[in-house]
Amino acid sequence: MSQNDVSTLTEIMTHFTGYVGKRLPTDVIKKLEELRSKEKDELSLARVVYDSMFENQKQADLLDRPCCQDTGVIQYFITAGSAFPYLGELESILQTATEETTKKAPLRHNAVETFIEKNTGTNTESRIPWLDWEIIPHDDSCTIEVYMGSSLVVVAEGMIMAY
């Protein structure tokens, strides 16, 4: 494994992390479209909220900015094989990708060093970004999912709830 390979993977994860902050997943968009279509009164509060969400997504695309100002703490969900060649470097790669995404996307600075109560300005600190690991024995693949947000959002039939 070369330093060039690590740099390439870091760059890919930087772009991917930025992309996740700027675009809602396809299944979420489809569900929001479905729910909006059920609102027959175009002046209802629900319809206005759905329309606002779609306008927000349009502006995020147009301006190349995150679709939410509060991107929260970045979390990576990693399923990696024990033989994945970059397993030992992955934590550092994702830390650097988070720092770079914070500058380039840009992302709001959400990481605070607990004991000194200071915002790092990089979205990184002790254990941030949060890495959730699942290691698969005798495997050399890796899947990384990115979540960012200040709350978990559940889209339920006819309503949106935040936790």
Tens-place pLDDT, residues 55-105: 999 999 999 988 887 777 899 999 999 999 999 999 999 999 999 999 998
- Domain total of the chain: 1
Q: In the prediction, which pLDDT does 95 show? A: 96
Q: 109, 122 in Cβ contact below 8 A? A: yes
Q: 103, 115 in Cβ contact below 8 A? A: no
Q: How far apart are CA 87 and CA 103, in angstroms?
A: 25
DSSP β-ladder status, 75-81 and 159-162: unpaired
Q: 142, 90 in Cβ contact below 8 A? A: yes
Short-list 87, 91, 96, CA closest to 76: 91
Parent domain of 73: 3-162
pTM, 2 dp: 0.81
